[in-house]
């Protein structure tokens, strides 16, 4: 029998042994009382009918009980204790049978009971061995008493009678032993099955925890494309809930990826040949994210393909960073041209305006020439305004950073917006601000310019009215988040992707430089800005700013008009990493 150790997992076996020890003592006591009543023939007991042999067995059992408990606490090897206890039980039963009439003893049945109990603690093979031991003890007792080697406490029966009794009981012992062995094996198999089931449950739980902890989306499908695993990261990236997609086709989630699945089945698990794919994915809310994914086959132990595993990542932020780097490269070129354009355009423009003003003073007020000159002056002012905004975008002025209350700046913007002629009765303005002040380190005039530009754009996107909401909250990472949302006309994906480009197409008119300047200011404050919009469903712009940010010193060439934006934005992005850029999605 396998050696058992006293460990927390073996606590049940220790308890079973304690039950066996106490149960044996109680069984002997009940047998003693029952025999006394049987010998008396009535409930009125007398000492003359007291079974002396059973009483001696009871006394020995009490002593053995103490010894058994002592060794149970002294040793954690249960195997030899179990075998020793049952062996001593068999010897005691044999002695009791001898004292109570050997072949005619009514206690021969105790062998059968002992074999049945032993099967609970022993394996099937050892149960048969123990049954054979009982057969050996009983047969030896019968032979010794029949041959008068030891004295008999009953009249000696005929040899044929002895042979009949011994054979009948031995067969009974072996049959009971065989049945008990089968029951022991089935009981042992049941225990192993429980342990195996428990191990499988633990492995399944471990598998689920590993799958859920993976920071990539993970989907497993069968060969028909039906989904049967969908981890939490897949839920976060795709916007679908696992309970809603189990059993559904993968084509319902990711669209037509049949070609990629065919390549995975063809290439197998060859790492070198496994292709990496990229695609645009539309969430249930209508927003588009860029994902990169790979597909690998799942194989059984036999090597047969049973399904596929799809792992994917959200590349939207990475692609946005790449676009931010490209945008900064374009800004560098714009900056180099801007300084030259300022003088080359403004100087002749000023001369033209002065000449037109002189000519206008010498022209009749109501003449057609006067009207044309007025148009020229107005358009020259507009051109000068465009150049001024362009220079602000290409070469913004250095801000004066100081601690300021963002809530107060937002409240000033909302108050100013309420008195704007663009606000009608159908417009609803809401500001969700914390009760306590929220301080950041920044330039108050530039931040108010951001708030005003974003708020005014939102109102202009709702010409027939709607709800505009500003929400301010503090984040745990030392940043603040400001969310501007409206219920206006929204924007298509293409417009969102070019929203911060200079001279981009605007749904509200204007030069298209307002949001470019906003982006520039946010970058200078080491912040980030993201846009999510859907046509006819409104727009949400999320702005995050650090609470404590020290503006980096300007380089000497940044103060020069001709080199104001000539520094490489790619180098700045890779080495300094102070500009967060923006995340654009639609």
Separation of alpha carbons 377 and 288, rounded Å: 46
Partners of 290 in the β-ladder? 280
pLDDT band at 134 (very low <50, low <70, confident <90, very high): very high
Given a cut of 80, whether residue 346 has pLDDT beyond it is no
Mean pLDDT of the chain: 78
> Is a pLDDT exceeding 90 seen at residue 135?
yes
Tokens of 566: 């000539």
pLDDT (mean) for 426-445: 88
Taking only the tens place, the pLDDT of each residue in 232-285 is 888 888 888 888 888 888 888 888 888 888 888 877 666 655 678 888 877 887
Residue 335 binned pLDDT confidence (cut-offs 50, 70, 90): low
- Residue 46: pLDDT band (50, 70, 90) is low
Q: For the purposes of burial, counting CB atoms within 10 Å of the CB of 179, is it exposed (0-12), middle (13-18) or buried (19 or more)?
A: middle
Q: Would you state the pLDDT for residue 48? A: 66
Q: Output the pLDDT for position 171.
A: 92
Work out the pLDDT band at 572, boundaries 50, 70, 90: very low
Name which residue leads in pLDDT, 103 or 584.
103
pLDDT at residue 133 is higher than 90: yes
Helix ranges restricted to H, 75-158:
78-99, 109-121, 124-146
Q: What is the average pLDDT across 566-582?
A: 34
Q: With bands split at pLDDT 50, 70 and 90, how would you rate the model's confidence at 566?
A: very low
Q: Which domains does the chain have, with CATH numbers?
A: 8-205 (no CATH), 215-314 (3.30.450.20), 319-394 (1.10.287), 402-558+567-584 (3.30.565.10)
d(CA 427, CA 425) in angstroms, rounded, equals 6
Give the model's pLDDT for residue 140: 92
pLDDT confidence bin for 562, thresholds 50/70/90: very low
**420 contacts: CB under 8 Å, gap ≥ 6:** 456, 459
Residues shown for the chain: 586
Distances in whole angstroms, Cα of residue 269 to Cα of each of 55, 277, 298, 308:
76, 16, 9, 11
Whole-number pLDDT of residue 339: 61
Write out pLDDT tens, residues 60-81.
888 888 888 888 888 777 888 8
pLDDT at 327 over 80: no
Binned at pLDDT 50, 70 and 90, residue 555 comes out as: very low
Residue 454, token pair as written in the block: 């974003």
Lowest-confidence range among 23-32, 481-490, 545-554?
Answer: 545-554
pLDDT of residue 392: 64
Q: Determine the distance from the C-alpha atom of residue 153 to the mean position of all C-alpha atoms in its chain, rounded to a whole number.
A: 77
Q: Can you read off the two tokens belonging to residue 267?
A: 């290439």
Query: Binning pLDDT at 50, 70 and 90, where does residue 565 land?
Result: very low
When pLDDT is averaged across residues 361-381 and rounded to a whole number, the result is: 79
Please tell me the predicted confidence (pLDDT) of residue 561.
36
Residue 386: count other Cβ atoms within 10 Å of its Cβ: 15
> At 358, which helix (H) or strand (E)?
helix 316-361
Nearest to 432 by CA among 469, 479, 485: 469
CA-to-CA dists, residue 439 to 402, 405, 442, 512, angstroms = 10, 5, 9, 31
Mean pLDDT along residues 486-504: 78
> Which segments within 301-411 are labelled E, that is strand?
305-314, 402-405
Q: What is the mean pLDDT of residues 534-548?
A: 86
Residues 6 or more apart from 50 whose CB is under 8 A from it? Answer: 36, 39
CA–CA separation, 6 and 66 (whole Å): 19
The predicted pLDDT at position 137 comes to 92
pLDDT band at 382 (very low <50, low <70, confident <90, very high): confident
Helix (H, G, I), strand (E, B) or coil at 364: coil
Over 60: is that where the pLDDT of 584 sits?
no
């Amino acid at each position: 029998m396998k050696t058992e150790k006293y460990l927390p997992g073996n606590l049940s076996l220790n308890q079973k042994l304690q039950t066996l020890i106490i149960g044996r003592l109680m069984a002997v006591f009940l047998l003693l009382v029952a025999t006394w009543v049987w010998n008396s023939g009535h409930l009125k007991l007398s000492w003359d009918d007291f079974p002396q042999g059973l009483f001696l067995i009871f006394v020995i059992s009490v002593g053995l009980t103490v010894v058994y408990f002592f060794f149970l606490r002294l040793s954690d090897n249960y195997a030899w204790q179990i075998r020793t206890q049952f062996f001593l039980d068999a010897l005691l039963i044999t002695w009791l049978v001898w004292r109570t009439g050997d072949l005619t003893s009514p206690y021969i049945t105790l062998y059968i009971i002992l074999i049945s109990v032993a099967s609970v603690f022993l394996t099937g093979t050892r149960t048969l061995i123990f049954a054979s031991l009982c057969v050996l003890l009983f047969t030896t007792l019968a032979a010794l008493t029949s041959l008068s080697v030891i004295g008999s406490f009953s009249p000696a029966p005929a040899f044929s009678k002895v042979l009949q009794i011994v054979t009948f009981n031995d067969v009974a012992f072996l049959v009971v032993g065989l049945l008990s062995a089968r029951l022991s094996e089935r009981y042992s198999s049941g225990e192993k099955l429980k342990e195996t089931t428990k191990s499988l449950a633990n492995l399944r739980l471990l598998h689920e925890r590993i799958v859920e902890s993976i920071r990539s989306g993970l989907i497993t499908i069968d060969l028909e494309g039906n989904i049967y695993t969908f981890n939490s990261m897949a839920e976060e990236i795709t916007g679908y809930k696992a309970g809603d997609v189990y059993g559904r086709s993968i084509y319902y989630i990711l669209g037509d990826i049949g070609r990629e699945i065919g390549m995975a089945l063809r290439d197998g698990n060859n790492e070198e040949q496994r292709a990496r794919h990229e695609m645009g994915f539309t969430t249930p809310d209508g927003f588009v994210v860029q994902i990169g994914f790979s597909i690998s086959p799942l194989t059984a132990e036999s090597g047969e393909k049973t399904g596929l595993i799809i792992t994917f990542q959200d590349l939207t932020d990475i692609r946005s960073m790449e676009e931010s780097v490209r945008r900064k490269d374009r800004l560098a070129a714009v900056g180099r041209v801007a300084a030259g354009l300022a003088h080359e355009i403004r100087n002749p423009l000023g001369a033209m305006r002065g000449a037109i003003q002189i000519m206008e003073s010498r022209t009749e007020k109501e003449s057609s020439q006067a009207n044309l000159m007025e148009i020229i002056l107005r358009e020259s002012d507009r051109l000068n305004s465009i150049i001024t905004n362009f220079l602000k975008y290409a070469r913004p002025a250095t801000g004066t950073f100081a601690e300021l209350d963002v809530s107060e700046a937002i409240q000033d913007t909302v108050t100013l917006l309420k008195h704007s002629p663009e606000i009608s009765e159908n417009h609803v303005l809401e500001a969700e601000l914390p009760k306590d002040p929220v301080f950041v380190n920044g330039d108050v005039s530039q931040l108010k310019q951001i708030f005003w530009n974003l708020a005014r754009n939102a109102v202009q996107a709702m010409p027939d009215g709607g709800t505009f909401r500003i929400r301010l909250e503090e984040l745990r990472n030392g940043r603040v988040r400001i969310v501007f949302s409206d219920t206006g006309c929204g924007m298509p994906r293409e417009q969102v992707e070019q929203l911060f480009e200079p001279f981009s197409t605007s749904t509200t008119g204007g030069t298209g430089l307002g949001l470019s300047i906003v982006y520039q200011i946010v970058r200078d404050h080491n912040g980030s800005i993201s846009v999510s919009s859907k046509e006819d469903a409104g727009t949400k712009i999320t702005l995050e700013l650090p609470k404590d940010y020290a503006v980096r010193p300007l380089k000497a060439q940044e103060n020069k008009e001709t080199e104001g934006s000539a520094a490489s934005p790619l180098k700045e992005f890779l080495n300094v990493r102070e500009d967060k850029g923006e995340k654009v999605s639609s």
